[in-house]
Amino acid sequence: MRKPALMLAALIGLYGLQILPALAVRPDEMLTDPKLEARARSIGKQLRCLVCQNESIDDSDADLAHDLRLLVRQRLLAGDSDAQVKQYLVDRYGDYVLLKPPFNADTLVLWLGPAGFFLLAVGGAVLFYRGRRGTGAEAAPVLSEDEIKRAKALLETDGEGDKA
């Protein structure tokens, strides 16, 4: 009973290997301190490679990405905090170097835009349906006795007309 389970585990393990992201971090870049290296990886994933623009510096094979990975490790070894390392690069390359844009005056539309559009849509829907209900009520005024009689007469003759 244990063998098939083992086989399954091995297969799942192999499948996992196959879908691992192709990291561009080279072995010779890595720091010997695993804690610092882990921090360098987490920072590297948040920084944009400015040459390829849609990859993090950890995923990119570009030369500049390689230099920036080394720089991140240099700063960490020098005792910088994660935030200081990121700020170091923002000072030189701007907010664009961060894959997750910060919330500030320049990115107001970016962050609040979707919520704004949602509110616009909800507002539009409310106005639309309220408008419809309004016209519905206007279209059904109360009929007087006389009018009801006339309507019934019309409906009856209409029904007979259909049968004929």
Q: Which residues bind another protein (CB under 8 A)?
A: 50-51, 53, 63-64, 67-68, 71, 90-94, 96, 124, 127-128, 131, 134
Nearer to another protein, 94 or 159 (CB): 94
Q: Least distance in Å: CB of 103 to another protein?
A: 18
Q: Least distance in Å: CB of 70 to another protein?
A: 8
Length of the chain: 164
Q: CA 144, 145, 150, 153 torsion: positive or negative?
A: positive
Nearer to another protein, 111 or 117 (CB): 117
Q: Least distance in Å: CB of 39 to another protein?
A: 20
Nearer to another protein, 10 or 127 (CB): 127
Separation CA 11–CA 128 (nearest Å): 55
Q: For the purposes of burial, counting CB atoms within 10 Å of the CB of 99, is it exposed (0-12), middle (13-18) or buried (19 or more)?
A: middle
Q: Least distance in Å: CB of 41 to another protein?
A: 20
Cβ proximity of 108 and 116 under 8 Å: no
DSSP helix/strand/coil, 156: helix
